[in-house]
Structure 1
Amino acid sequence: MSKYEILARTLLKCELFEGFNHFQLNTMLECFSPKLHSYNKGDFIVMAGSRYHGLGIMVEGSAVITKENAAGSRVMLGVVTAGELFGEVIAFSGKVQWPANVQAQTDCVTIFLENNAIINQCSEACSFHSQLIKNLLKTVSNRAIMLNRRVEYLSMKSINSKIACLLLEHMEKSGSHTFRLPMNRNEMADFLNISRPSMSREMGVMRDRGIIEFQKEAIRILKPDKLKDMINE
């Protein structure tokens, strides 16, 4: 068994390796020779302003991506869970510093892939190396779409519309009316750029009206049409 076999089982779920089989992924990992990095909950995986050292992949656990605005307030940019990438948007931008913090939300394990290892043909001349680059381009494009979506959130005037839009998006992503949010309430409030008390109050109203049910990060959408109406208010 390859020394990367166990790691490969997780990475096969990663969008960077979409379409790869176990053999192809193991071959790529042999070329990259990635090292596993472990972090405890609360540790900074990377800090804004530190030297950029390659595209990151979350192998185990989850982390939040944050940045401080000009006023010194924390702005949440997103959550990274197992099998997801971080740092891919700036990988080939020419930037030499991380633009945001990536902080462990739980105990985490990550790997980093150096840019040169991604764009240069490996020594084994893997025929599927080009597929890796295509997947990366697709991922960056999807991130651009997601960032545009975030702008839509921030442009919404009412708290209700922001919450409703976020819940409907996660319902669609999960394929079920019952799902778990990848962020806690404080992180959700930061992401939507609203206060935690205001968000909790409005979610309580939605619950009392029989539109949603929730227990911590677990959400059940009872009346999706009502949430859609809130977005259009």
Structure 2
Amino acid sequence: MRKYEALAKRILKCELFDGFDNNQLVSMLECFSPRIFNYSKGDYIVIAGDRYHGLGIIVEGSAVITKENAAGSRVMLGVAAAGELFGEVIAFSGKEQWPANVQAQTDCSVLFLENNEIINQCSEACSFHSQLIKNLLRTVSNRAIMLNRRVEYLSMKSISSKVACLLLEHMERSGSHTFRLPMNRNEMADFLNISRPSMSREMGVMRDSGIIEFQKEAIRILKADKLKEMIKE
């Protein structure tokens, strides 16, 4: 078996490799010789201010991306699950330091791709470089759209509208009225910039009103129309 055969199968669905088949991805990994590190739950994968050293891809597990504001409070920027990227937004910004913390949400392994490996043609002139760059540009554009979406969350005045909007978004993303949130309650509260008690109280009201059911991170939407009404309030 080729050196990176097993790894390629685990990350083939990553958006950075859209359009690649397994053999092409194995060839790319052999060309790049990426670094792979293992982390335990709670470990910091990168810390804001550390030297930036390339794109990160979660191979297994998941990680949370956070930043501290001027008051020292933690602001959650997102969750990266298996097959997802982090660090792509600043990859070619000229910045030399990580702008945020990335912390292992579970035990996980992470692959890092150096920027120079991505943009510079190797001596073999591998054909995948141009496709990789196109995919990266599309990914960065999608992240910009997501950040705009986050601004929408933060601009909502009521806690109910924030929670309702987040639940509907994950329902649409999963394609089902029953789904699992990729974050726990503390992380969800951080993401929406509200207190954990306030968020839990609001979800309790939704449950008691027959709008949702939940068990930890497992959610079932019973009345999506009622959630939509909350967003308009």
Please confirm whether the aligned pair reaches a TM-score higher than 0.5, indicating the same fold.
Answer: yes
Q: Spell out, residue by residue over 1:122-165, the C-alpha distance to the aligned partner (whole angstroms, 9 max, x if none).
A: 22212222111000000000000000000000000000000000
- The equivalent residue for 1:142 is 142
For residues 72 and 41 of structure 1, what CA distance do their matches in structure 2 show?
A: 23
For residues 128 and 107 of structure 1, what CA distance do their matches in structure 2 show?
A: 31
- The equivalent residue for 2:221 is 221
- TM-score scaled by structure 2? 0.99
Alpha-carbon shift at residue 35 of structure 1 (Å): 2.0
- The equivalent residue for 1:68 is 68
8 Å CA contact retained: 1:16, 1:132 = yes
User: What does residue range 1-233 of structure 1 map to in structure 2 within 5 Å?
Assistant: 1-233=1-233
Alpha-carbon shift at residue 13 of structure 1 (Å): 1.0
Q: Spell out, residue by residue over 1:24-64, the C-alpha distance to the aligned partner (whole angstroms, 9 max, x if none).
A: 10110011101210001100000000000001000001010
% of aligned pairs identical? 85
For residues 104 and 202 of structure 1, what CA distance do their matches in structure 2 show?
A: 28
Report SS of the residue matched to 2:106. Answer: coil
For residues 103 and 147 of structure 1, what CA distance do their matches in structure 2 show?
A: 20
Report SS of the residue matched to 1:89. Answer: coil
For residues 16 and 49 of structure 1, what CA distance do their matches in structure 2 show?
A: 25
For residues 71 and 129 of structure 2, what CA distance do their matches in structure 1 show?
A: 44
Gaps of 5+ in 1: none
For 1:202, the aligned partner's letter is: E
For 2:163, the aligned partner's letter is: I
8 Å CA contact retained: 2:164, 2:227 = yes
Give the 4+ runs in structure 1 shifted more than 4 A.
none
Alpha-carbon shift at residue 98 of structure 1 (Å): 0.2
For 1:163, the aligned partner's letter is: V
8 Å CA contact retained: 1:31, 1:123 = no
For residues 217 and 66 of structure 1, what CA distance do their matches in structure 2 show?
A: 20
What number of residue pairs does the alignment pair up? 233
Report SS of the residue matched to 2:227. Answer: helix
For residues 6 and 141 of structure 1, what CA distance do their matches in structure 2 show?
A: 30
Q: Spell out, residue by residue over 1:90-114, the C-alpha distance to the aligned partner (whole angstroms, 9 max, x if none).
A: 0000000000000000001001100
Gaps of 5+ in 2: none
